[in-house]
């Protein structure tokens, strides 16, 4: 198991903001089974200051994750919450938006560039057809797109140091969150398989095929 | 339009048109086949589809409706989960089909598996994969337009600017033919020189792999894949694209896939209907010349 790529980008951005002096502390949060601790240690090795693991052996849906993060945010009062835009397993693309809704805070989704300017964060967002820039009152929630940054690798000394950084263990019940799923998965099937194609020897044959299809 | 088709499979459809000066859009929405009613929320607060202003409007209207259906576009993906959380329901993202009143299929793991899920929530919040449903006809409807009062501007977010790429070319998600380039195109100038003439000949949209976007050959919104655009054209021509699963997730529902690649073992050939092995720098100009 490794960290979701969008979350690596989120951790990297938090660290860069700290390096710029606009962030004082970075708290990494994961909701999941005990082995999610390894993911948090990776975040600590990259540069997060401390971590919170909310333990649940069952799968937790985005809405419940968002409620847990809201609970943590109520306690920690972060100025900025950064999440990945989506997890590449469930592909839901929901948690950041839901956290923002539950906290009643603005959201900068699919961020391509972010800068903190006083009591606001300016977010350049990747949208269909181009880019959109919005200005959000802090505290705010930002979700990362692929091109926000290039995440760093944790160095061996930092991996060693990360082992002694604080990691708090919590449960969903600590935040009063019921993680019972709202969506029931009835079945999981393989997508339809494409039938094997052919290889053509040259451009002329390809042109003939395109003409057969009526596209040329 | 695909979202309206999906919504029609669930019940009577009311369209919400929110924006600043959106009378024309509301009138157009009223003509769409399958739309029974149009709600129009015309207010400066909705000018740039900011989620902070739209979500409370939609959540408020949901007292009278069983479900909210949005297309899985960047706007839909931005707003719908915020609506879902305000209503305390789980969103069903990017559905491929409606299997029952509360049962849907959706792709997971970059489209490598299809999950059938059933919602137990009182209200539905759904985003719809545009390529999985037929587009509703833009004429034939005769819905009434009813104005709804706007919610107050949240004051949480403001629109600063937008950079929208201007293009005469067919829009990627609706193009019938797409010519897509990958890392093998070398640089922006070569991409332009090789891909654009072929796309012009075929009146095709232009797409790209993540590698080509990251390398700066083309802008971000050209990206086809799991985290970019999902397309399903009649013909998808992949040039110099190896076919990583993240890319395949965005185009493998295309009707016909044609791959041009010098690596005979590239994974793209496993999904391609027609493959041509060779050097794209000679083959593509030759192809363009012979069309």
How confident is the model over A2-38, as pLDDT tens digits? 999 999 999 999 999 999 999 999 999 999 999 999 9
Report the residue from B75, B156, B202 with minimal CB separation from A105. Answer: B156
Give the angle subtended at the CA of A209 by the CAs of A207 and A211, to the nearest 5°: 70
Kindly state whether B226 is in contact with chain A, defined as any CB-CB distance less than 8 angstroms: yes
Indicate yes or no: CB of B114 within 8 angstroms of CB of A189: yes
Alpha helix stretches (DSSP H) within chain B: 2-8, 23-31, 51-61, 74-86, 188-202, 210-214, 245-251, 268-271, 280-290
Q: How far is CA B122 from CA A18, A138, B97, B125, in A?
A: 43, 33, 20, 10
Q: What percent of chain A has pLDDT over 90?
A: 93
Low-confidence ranges of chain B (pLDDT < 50): none
Residue of B111, B112, B157, B268 to mutate for A, most A C-beta atoms under 10 A: B157
Position B91 scores a pLDDT of 98
Q: State the pTM of this model.
A: 0.93
Nearest chain A residue (CA) to B210: A146
Contact between B75 and A127 using a beta-carbon 8 Å cutoff: yes
Is the separation of the CB atoms in B5 and B133 below 8 Å? yes
CB-based contact B52:B86 (threshold 8 Å): no
In this complex, do B116 and A183 lie within 8 Å of one another by their Cβ atoms? no
Token pair of A202 as six digits: 């040259």
In B, which residues are within 8 Å of A7 by CB distance? Answer: none
* A102–B163 CB contact, under 8 Å: no
Q: What's the pLDDT score for residue A36?
A: 96
The pLDDT of residue B152 is 86
Please, what's the b/e burial string for B217-252 (b: 16 or more CB within 10 A of its CB; e: otherwise)? bbebbbbbbbbbbbbbbebbbbbbbbbbebbbbbbb
């Amino acid at each position: 198991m490794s960290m979701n790529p969008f979350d690596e980008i989120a951790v990297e951005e938090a660290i860069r903001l700290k390096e710029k002096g606009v962030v004082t502390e970075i708290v990494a949060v994961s909701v999941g089974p005990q082995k999610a601790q390894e993911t948090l240690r990776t975040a600590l090795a990259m540069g997060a200051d401390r971590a919170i693991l909310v333990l649940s052996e069952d799968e937790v849906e985005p809405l419940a994750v968002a409620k847990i993060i809201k609970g943590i945010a109520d306690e920690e009062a972060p100025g900025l919450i950064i999440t990945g835009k989506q997890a590449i397993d469930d592909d839901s693309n929901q948690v950041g938006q839901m956290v923002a809704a539950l906290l009643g805070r603005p959201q900068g989704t699919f961020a391509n560039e972010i800068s903190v300017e006083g009591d606001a964060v300016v977010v350049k967002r990747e949208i269909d057809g181009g880019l959109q820039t919005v200005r959000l009152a802090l505290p705010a929630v930002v979700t990362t797109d692929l091109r926000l940054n290039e995440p760093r690798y944790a160095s061996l000394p930092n991996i060693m140091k990360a082992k002694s950084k604080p990691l708090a263990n919590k449960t969903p019940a600590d935040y009063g969150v019921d993680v019972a799923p709202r969506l029931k998965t009835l079945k999981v099937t393989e997508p339809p398989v494409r039938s094997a194609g052919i290889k053509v020897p040259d451009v002329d044959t390809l042109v003939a095929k395109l003409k057969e299809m009526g596209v040329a | 339009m695909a979202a309206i088709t999906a919504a029609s499979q669930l019940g009577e459809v009311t369209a919400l048109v929110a924006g600043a000066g959106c009378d024309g859009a509301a009138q157009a929405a009223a003509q769409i086949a399958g739309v029974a009613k149009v709600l129009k929320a015309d207010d400066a607060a909705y000018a740039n589809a900011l989620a902070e202003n739209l979500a409370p409007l939609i959540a408020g209207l949901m007292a009278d409706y069983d479900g909210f259906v949005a297309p899985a576009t960047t706007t839909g993906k931005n707003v719908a989960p915020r609506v879902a959380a305000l209503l305390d329901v789980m969103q069903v993202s990017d559905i491929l089909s409606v299997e029952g009143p509360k049962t849907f299929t959706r792709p997971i793991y970059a489209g490598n598996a299809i999950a059938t899920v059933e919602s137990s929530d009182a209200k539905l919040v759904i985003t719809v994969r545009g390529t999985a449903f037929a587009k509703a006809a833009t004429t034939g409807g005769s819905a009434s337009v009813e104005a709804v009062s706007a919610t107050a501007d949240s004051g949480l977010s403001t629109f600063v600017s937008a950079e929208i790429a201007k293009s005469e070319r067919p829009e990627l998600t609706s193009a019938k033919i797409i010519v897509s380039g990958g890392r093998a195109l070398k640089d922006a100038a070569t991409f332009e020189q090789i891909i654009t003439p072929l796309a012009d000949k075929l009146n095709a949209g232009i797409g790209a792999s993540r590698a080509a976007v990251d390398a700066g050959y083309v802008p971000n919104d050209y990206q086809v894949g799991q985290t970019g655009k999902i397309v399903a054209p009649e013909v998808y021509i992949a040039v110099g694209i190896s076919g990583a699963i993240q890319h395949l997730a965005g185009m493998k529902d295309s009707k016909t896939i044609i791959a041009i690649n010098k690596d005979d073992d590239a994974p793209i050939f496993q999904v391609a209907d027609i493959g041509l092995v060779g050097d794209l720098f000679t083959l593509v100009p030759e192809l363009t010349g012979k069309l």
